[in-house]
Chain A
Amino acid sequence: MTNRENDILEVKNVSKVFDVDTENEKEVLRDVNLKVGRNEFLCLLGPSGCGKTTLLRCIAGFEDYEGSVAVNGVVRREPGTDRIMVFQDFNQLFPWKTVEKNIQYPLKLQGIRDKAVLKQRTEEVLEKVKLSGQEKYYPYQLSGGMKQRVAIAKALALKPEIILMDEPFAALDAMTRNELQGELLRISETENCTIIFITHNIQEAIVLGTRIIVLAQGGRIVVDEKNKIQRPVTPASEGYGATWERLHSALYQ
């Protein structure tokens, strides 16, 4: 029973069909069952079209689906601040708000009115993503990597139960991507947060994840394993090659 208390998220028999009753009808997820433990960094790997994004969107509450998603044992169907999504698209920040206001707006909606608290919380999270002093910029003045940092900061400020990340670094150049991976890893190790991270990059999954799942068509789980490689992971780490091979063959089977 102790194990059950440690689960923060339970996905039960989730199925999703797009374009029901049309010629384009497509079953994307079939009876997906998944439990995620508290403070786990779960990486979902899978080929394009396997339903990983749809699964994440169901968890976030953006889609209608069959089955149930429960956070801390409570069923959630609608989006909520307990599950904050970080999208792949750089344009997820509101362009009409500055960096600071983008971070503070959700907090204000949560009922936090005290200016000092808002300011302090903003500085804290911006420091975590290494964007201190950039409060007053509008999103269009930031680079793609900076926008993604702000999106992560915005999520952290809300102290959600789970952060959902849908390939947030996929559209970044390799250097920025490595840098952001490192920072996310550091954040995930120091913060109390559970992260579900979608990627199709095996290296990314091994570097970041404490647990790695490989999905096949229909959201079928083909690999589900703890990542036992000593952190921080580099390609020279013991077991990296074997893990990479295993995931690679599962991914391309």
Chain B
Amino acid sequence: MDEKKKRIHAIAARIIFLVVVLLIWELVAKSGVMGDKSELIFPSLEAIADAFVQNFIQGFAGTSLWVYIGNSMRLLLEGLLIGIVLAFLLSGLSMVSRTFYEICNLVISVCDLLPGVALLPVVIIIFGVKPGVITFLVVHAVLWPMARNVLDGFFAVPRIYVEAGRNIGLKRVSLLYGVYFPASISYIVSGLKVGWARAWRGLISAEMIFGVASCPGIGLFINQMRTNMNNAEMYATLVVIIMIGLIVQYGVISPIEKSTVKKWGMSR
């Protein structure tokens, strides 16, 4: 009963907060306190809602926002997949070879601190302006935090699981797969969270800095809205970006947590 009350309280608090923020926004928009630029800085909620719908129907230059979203998501998924697979490969090899671990550790420490956007000029000079560049940046964004987390997870596996595993005949790869991997799942999930967040940011920034005409994404869309002073559309696109983030959090990451760490009693 108490648990239920807390839940209602949490939802109510959030809804009230949201409504108040939106009300203030609308008041500011309607009052025109910002002078001439008021309409640009604070478009009214109706204008934003209308722009939200129009983004999908008309889009920009005849291309619906759906197409932009599709392109972004495709590059993102590609990058995430490659990044995650590489992260497991690096951490797996690090567990097998001490030399590899030392080198890998150094590379992760260095690369993790390097913002992907800072790499952009170099990557463009080498590869040219291609969708592959954005995939590269997404891989860069996911790989290092993910590899770091997986490695930390592997090292935090209690010795008793490893010994119990060896006792029943697991060795090397089967031990990695049968014990290290499931035992460090909470680290892997948190690596996934950090990796996804970084990849999402990296993707949008890369798309904003340079748009690939053959594969235009959400970042490019928002930039085009800015260039054309379509400010309501700009805000509407921000809402879309937030919504995609929420969908991934509650539609992908939470279910993964529920079916692993929570189900196994490894976290509350």
How many interface residues does chain B have, given as a range? 20 to 34
Is A92 a contact of B264 with CB atoms below 8 Å?
no
Report the Cα distance A158→B168, complex, angstroms.
Answer: 9
Is A139 a contact of B168 with CB atoms below 8 Å?
no
- Determine if A249 is an interface residue (Cβ-Cβ < 8 Å): no
Is B169 a contact of A81 with CB atoms below 8 Å?
yes
Report the Cα distance A232→B266, complex, angstroms.
Answer: 41
- Determine if A120 is an interface residue (Cβ-Cβ < 8 Å): no
Is A80 a contact of B266 with CB atoms below 8 Å?
no
Is A96 a contact of B168 with CB atoms below 8 Å?
no
- Given A91-B158, A94-B179, answer yes or no on A105-B265 (Cβ-Cβ < 8 Å): no
Main secondary structure of the interface of B (DSSP, over half): helix
Main secondary structure of the interface of A (DSSP, over half): loop
Bits for A151-162, please: 1 = Cβ < 8 Å to B, else 0: 000000010000
* Chain B residues within an 8 Å CB radius of A96: 182-183, 185, 260, 264, 266
- Given A96-B264, A138-B263, answer yes or no on A91-B169 (Cβ-Cβ < 8 Å): no
Bits for A51-80, please: 1 = Cβ < 8 Å to B, else 0: 000000000111000000000000000111
Report the Cα distance A110→B167, complex, angstroms.
Answer: 12
Is A62 a contact of B163 with CB atoms below 8 Å?
yes
- Determine if B11 is an interface residue (Cβ-Cβ < 8 Å): no
Is B167 a contact of A60 with CB atoms below 8 Å?
yes
* Chain A residues within an 8 Å CB radius of B158: 91
14 contacts between A and B (CB under 8 A): A60-B167, A62-B166, A80-B167, A84-B168, A85-B167, A87-B163, A94-B164, A95-B265, A95-B266, A96-B183, A105-B178, A109-B168, A138-B263, A141-B265
Which residues of A are in contact with B by a Cβ distance under 8 Å? 60-62, 78-81, 83-85, 87, 89, 91-96, 105-106, 109-110, 138-141, 158
